[in-house]
Amino acid sequence: MSETLSLNKLEKLIELETQLRGEYQQQLDDKDAAIAELTEDKAALEAKMAQMEKTISTQLATIKDMSGKSNDTQVLEQRNRELHNRSENMKEEVSVAKSRLKALQKDLSAERAELAELKKYDPQRLRKNLDASKKKLAEKTTAADKLQKSLTQVRSENSQLELKIEELESQLEKSQDAQTDTVEEGQEAA
């Protein structure tokens, strides 16, 4: 009876594992895809930032080079203004890209945390726990069978001993009756 209950519990555990795998596997796959997409966005933004910083440094170098070589102050000032405006625009773009990168990193850490939470329901780990539970159940069942056999043997020995005690008590009673009869006959004869 207890084996049937244990088997039912094991079947329910297997059904629960299958259900959890069905419920959470798609979510795990979606989260992995979202993390990959966020990682690609982060890499693209970092590359764009590096390119913009390189462009800014190139333009600043150009400004310095032109200011040293140019005799025409007005042309130089005009070009400096243009480059300065462009570098300011690029700095703003870099600032926006950095804030976007921070937001993506925050989203990525949130996704990783959620993925870690979902991986708590790892089917392989659940199966391993189920296998360990099955092994423990088998050991307990074996121990219970041995105890049952031992109990049966002890009961059998006990019933044999009780029969022997009854037999000895009846022999004792007969011998006491025989002694009493002998004593009474001896008294009657006297």
Q: 114 and 102: one domain?
A: yes
Which pLDDT score is estimated for 107?
A: 93
Number of domains in the chain: 2
Distance of CA 61 to the CA centre of its chain: 56
Q: 41 and 135: one domain?
A: no
Which pLDDT score is estimated for 47?
A: 92
Q: How many CA atoms lie within 13 A of 76 on its CB side?
A: 12
- Determine if residue 122 is left, alpha or beta; phi over 0 gives left, psi from -120 to 50 gives alpha, anything else beta: beta
DSSP letter for 39, please: H
Compute CA distances 87 → 57, 67, 91, whole Å: 9, 16, 6
Higher pLDDT, 178 or 48: 48
Q: 107 and 175: one domain?
A: no
The pLDDT tens digits for 51-104 are: 999 998 998 888 777 666 666 677 778 888 998 999 999 999 999 999 999 999
Q: 145 and 103: one domain?
A: no
Which pLDDT score is estimated for 30?
A: 86
Q: Name the token pair of 51.
A: 């390119």
Which pLDDT score is estimated for 20?
A: 81
Q: 9 and 83: one domain?
A: yes
Which pLDDT score is estimated for 105?
A: 94
Tell me which of 71, 103, 121 is where a domain ends: 121
Domain coverage including residue 146: 123-190
Higher pLDDT, 189 or 166: 166
Which pLDDT score is estimated for 50?
A: 92
Q: Report the mean per-residue pLDDT for the chain.
A: 86
Which pLDDT score is estimated for 182?
A: 77
Indicate the pLDDT class of residue 126, thresholds 50, 70 and 90: confident
Which pLDDT score is estimated for 70?
A: 60
pLDDT for residue 175 is more than 90: no
Higher pLDDT, 120 or 136: 136
DSSP letter for 54, please: H
pLDDT for residue 25 is more than 70: yes
Mean pLDDT calculated for residue range 33-46: 90
Q: 39 and 79: one domain?
A: yes
pTM above 0.85, yes or no: no
